[in-house]
Amino acid sequence: MTFLAKIQNKVALGTFCKTLDSAFVEAAGIAGLDFIILDMEHGPATLETIHHHVRAAKMTDMKSVIRVKGVDAHAIGSALDTGADGVQVPNVSTAQQARDAVKAARFFPGGQRGVCRFVRAAHYGEEDRNSYFRGANEKLVVLQVEGIEGTRNLDSILDVEGFDVLFIGPYDLSQSIGKPGEVESIEVLELMEKISEKASKKGVVLGAFSDNLERNQSLKKQGFNYIAYSVDVNIFIEKIKEITVG
């Protein structure tokens, strides 16, 4: 069963990863997370480190998704070459950007991803080429809509074929309406509700970021099946504080 098939039928819980130590990635999988988002947009990891993180995730049942810096064909292709289970593209504001992201993530006929089968994702050329190209087109493609422009263009973005998850970034959404950080303001929550309603009608899997456990539960009730809870290093800090403060 593909990762997409799983999240179409049940809620998956993950976290964002900003660590440089692949042992923490492996530990997250051992702990039972469904997926981890290896963050190259706001994280310090190089592509070399990301390769190690992907290997660490594959030691467990946890799926790895790489968030690239933006709609960049080379970055998207390089991320998928690592053998990750998916790619997440931030700051998608128009249908053309959505099409460009899909084009970069899929081989023909779904796109025009740069072709090299001598990469880790294809076992450095040892995997049957037909099997590789077929399987590569089943990798998860997540598009982030996180601003007013994106919400205004949402209908046309949702009509783009080839992506799997629409991910809402509440913090960037809050900034776009002039309330940076107020992710639980009425305006942000109403926007998220409108986005989720439109996506659900199109049959698109919904994703979002959450930084408190109560919000996880409300997102589940709203139909979000791809929920990224907090960030690994912050979770570590919070647990250490329980020891030192307690």
Backbone phi, psi, residue 110, to 5°? -80, -15
Q: Is 52 an active-site residue?
A: no
As a whole number of angstroms, the distance between CA 74 and CA 189 comes to 34
22-30 and 47-58 helices, crossing angle to 10°: 30
Question: Using alpha carbons only, what angle is made at residue 6 by residues 221 and 193, rounded to the nearest 5 degrees?
Answer: 30
Burial string for 24-51 (b: 16+ CB within 10 Å, else e) reads bbbebbeeebbbbbbbbbebebeeebbb
Closest by CA position to 22, among listed 57, 46, 74: 57
Amino acid (1-letter code) at residue 168: I
Alpha carbons 75 and 54: distance in angstroms, whole number: 16
Of these residues, 42, 52, 53, 123, which one is catalytic?
A: 42
Please tell me the distance from the alpha carbon of residue 44 to that of residue 53, in angstroms, as a whole number: 13
Indicate which residues carry an active-site annotation.
Answer: 42
